[in-house]
Amino acid sequence: MSLGTIILIILVLMLLGVLPTWSHSRSWGYAPSGVLGTILVIVLILLVLGKI
Q: Are 44 and 38 in contact (CB under 8 A)?
A: no
Q: Are 15 and 28 in contact (CB under 8 A)?
A: no
Return all residues near 2 (Cβ < 8 A) that are at least 6 apart.
52
Nearest to 14 by CA among 32, 31, 26, 28: 32
Q: pLDDT tens digits, residue range 1-52?
A: 688 788 878 878 877 776 666 666 667 777 776 777 788 788 888 878 888 6
pLDDT of 26:
67
pTM above 0.85, yes or no: no
Q: Are 8 and 47 in contact (CB under 8 A)?
A: yes
